[in-house]
Amino acid sequence: MPETPPLLRVVRLPFATVVLPPAALTAAPRWRLFAGLATAGAGGPVLGQAVLEEFGTLSAPICLVPRALAGKVYDRGLAASYTRDQEMGIDAGWPPLVLGVDLPTPELPGDWVEQLDRAFAGAEASLPSRLPVQARSVRCGAFTITAVRLGTCGAVATDAPLLPRQLRRLGAAVAAGWSAAEGAGMVVALGTASGLATRDDGGEQTVGFLGEAALSRLVADANAGGSGRWA
Amino acid sequence: MALDRRDFLGLAALAAAVGVTPTAGRAALAEGVGRRRARDLGIILGRLPPGTLNAITDVPGVRVGQVTVVAGEGAWQPGASPVRTGLTAILPTADIGSTAVAAGLAVPNGNGELSGLQAIERLGVVASPILLTGTSHVGVVYDAVVDVLAEHGPVPPTPVVGETWDGTLSDVAGRYLGAEQVRAALAAAVGGAVAEGAVGGGTGMICYGFKGGIGTASRRLPAPLEGHHVGVLVQANHGRREMLRIDGVAVGEALADWQGGQPPAPPSGVNSILIVIATDVPLLDVELARVARRAVHGLARTGSISSNSSGDFALAFSTANAVGWRQLLGDGRLIWRTVDQGAIEPVLQATAEATEEAIINALCMATDMAGRDGVLVPALPLAEVTALLAAHGRLHA
């Protein structure tokens, strides 16, 4: 499969990996994309899971971190969210999704807060990091799938129009591949084609999604080749 | 569904011959002697106004059909008598089976059966009529619905069949429902008023130690969703008498020993409730799951804790998001609609309120019933209940 432009921005820090959707999709203060969380096996610590599962949408960065740092990173994300939107409504400004990975805890640099804040804003360039992050973007039929992985946890994005439960299936297919040899896996799957605008008037929006046959093909494609596909 | 009126009448004649009554919504409103709906008694639950019918059928396009089977009396003869059972069919659309509607699910306590869970959770739709019946008839009703749905194409959807246990009053060893009764219920499904109480799937049910069964209610939504409705239908078979609360008044405690107290409990303990929520607000499946969870709040207001042995299921669907079944399974791109989640609050409130009122309507409309081994399950004593509520300032003119 030929490489293709990624659907995720990846900011590598010495102590965490911050994953964001494309800049064009996060320009609006209250951006929301459909998302689903899939776990294979027992999973690990996930902060922000309840809101993701309640609404099926994501409005904040995804953080892949060694599990001992999950609380610190979540706390900083909470502060950043509050700065972004002081009302912290259900559709905006929520804390980041933090997935804790079983990895040794790296030392926090003195300016880790500033580094994280810049990463959340999408302004931070990657810094030298020993965290074993892998990222790959491939074309699957008519669509792109981008996967970012730290250990057995990661984020997956696709431009296929999918609803949250469909994204969970896609994420599960990828998680199964990652975890097959290494134990539990967790994947947040988000759709860059499937967003919701925040409207205060209760007005309707249309949402596109794939039929099941098309979804099944995409899922099978994502799972083909197991973990090696995304190495 | 394919049956025309002649087929229905033919089935009705057959049904009448064996003591089965198909119940069209308009034909029989279960106006048992002295029975009245909660609002008509002055019991006003919640704050939102009801729809015109105060029924699940206030949601345009939703139809309900019921078959009631009552036969025999006295000592239990397993496989023969007495029979106090039936089924209630809810059709989200006129062409359900060819069409799927967005749906979401909540399971407060899963000690029961609602078939089709996997399909609902995986596909986010209901594409089958929703059949509510007694526990012992799940298999035969499911089997019959499979045949009905197969008429729509080679890859039929999974039937949605739910149950609550009617074995205190009815023979559960025998089978008194089958293809004929299922088709009769589907053919009898209409809009309009819905029969409540000891009818359809609720025929043999017991709720909070009183005669239970089918109940329904609805709410008209305020701006920005004006013009839309939420409707709920329940098959109420849950709770112990001392738990019952009506508009915050501990009615069950006050009537704990009334007419001999709680009827005999089944071997497993307390029974179950099925809650079906319909709306014409355009909502996605993930949002309908949120709506379904609010039914629990309405259930809790009547005193339930979703007991350990209870099979409590809430299924919510939106008629505003319908898609062809074959299109859903296919290759194409499909379109649904949704509203901003900030506007969903009235839907959540309406669901809780209509669920609460539907349960109380089931109790108010059910009549006394004697069944297996002469067990008598009394209907909720309306005079005593209204007196209690009035004493607490909870009865409205």
In chain B, where does DSSP find H-type helix? 5-17, 38-41, 117-123, 138-150, 179-187, 251-254, 285-301, 325-329, 345-365, 382-391
Local confidence pLDDT in tens for the 397 residues of chain B:
433 333 333 344 334 333 445 554 433 343 456 899 999 999 999 999 999 999 999 999 999 999 999 999 999 999 999 999 999 999 999 898 899 999 999 999 888 889 988 789 889 999 999 999 999 999 899 989 989 999 888 888 899 999 999 999 999 999 999 999 999 999 999 999 999 999 999 999 999 999 999 999 999 999 999 999 999 999 999 999 999 999 999 999 999 988 877 777 665 566 799 999 999 999 999 999 999 999 999 999 999 999 888 899 999 999 999 999 999 999 999 999 999 888 899 999 999 999 999 999 999 999 999 999 999 999 999 999 999 999 999 999 7
- To the nearest whole angstrom, how far is the Cα of A213 from the nearest Cα of chain B? 5
Q: Is B334 on the interface with A (CB under 8 A)?
A: yes
DSSP B274-330: EEEEEE-S---HHHHHHHHHHHHHHHHHTT----TT-EEEEEEEEEEEEEEHHHHHS
In a mutational test of the A interface, the residue from B226, B334, B338, B339 whose CB has the highest number of chain A CBs within 10 Å is B334
Selected catalytic residue, list B115, B128, B218, B272: B272
A202 by DSSP, 3-state: which? coil
- For A213, other C-beta atoms within 10 Å of its C-beta total 13
Residue among A89, A207, A213 minimizing CB distance to B338: A207
Residue contact A207–B342, C-beta within 8 A: no
Q: Collect all residues with Cβ–Cβ distance below 8 Å to B180 and sequence separation of at least 6.
A: B11, B14, B15
Which of A174, A143, A186, A144 minimizes the C-alpha distance to A52?
A: A186
Q: B310 an active-site residue?
A: yes
Task: Look up tokens 């969210």; give the residue.
Answer: A81
Contact B339, B138 (CB under 8 A): no
Residue among A54, A210, A213 minimizing CB distance to B290: A54
Which of B199, B223, B2 minimizes the C-alpha distance to B87?
A: B199
Distance CA B277, CA B259 (A): 34
The type of residue at B320 is A
Contact B94, B77 (CB under 8 A): no
- To the nearest whole angstrom, how far is the Cα of B112 from the nearest Cα of chain A? 24
Q: Is B269 on the interface with A (CB under 8 A)?
A: no
The dihedrals phi and psi of B211, each to the nearest 5 degrees, come to -65, 130
Distance CA B88, CA B237 (A): 14
Examine residue B159 and say whether the peptide bond preceding it is cis (omega within 30 degrees of 0).
no
Residues of chain A contacting residue B290, judged by C-beta atoms under 8 Å apart: 54-55
Give Cα A86 distance to the centre of its chain.
23
Q: Is ipTM over 0.90?
A: no
Residue among A200, A208, A212 minimizing CB distance to B329: A212
Residues of chain A contacting residue B225, judged by C-beta atoms under 8 Å apart: 202
Contact B192, B25 (CB under 8 A): yes
Which of B183, B139, B187 minimizes the C-alpha distance to B159?
A: B139
Beta-ladder partners of A138: A3, A145
Q: Which two tokens stand for residue A139?
A: 């074309």
- To the nearest whole angstrom, how far is the Cα of A219 from the nearest Cα of chain B? 13
Residues of chain A contacting residue B287, judged by C-beta atoms under 8 Å apart: 56
Q: Which two tokens stand for residue B161?
A: 């069949």
Contact B182, B141 (CB under 8 A): yes
Residue contact B284–A55, C-beta within 8 A: no
Distance CA A63, CA B231 (A): 42
Q: B136 an active-site residue?
A: no
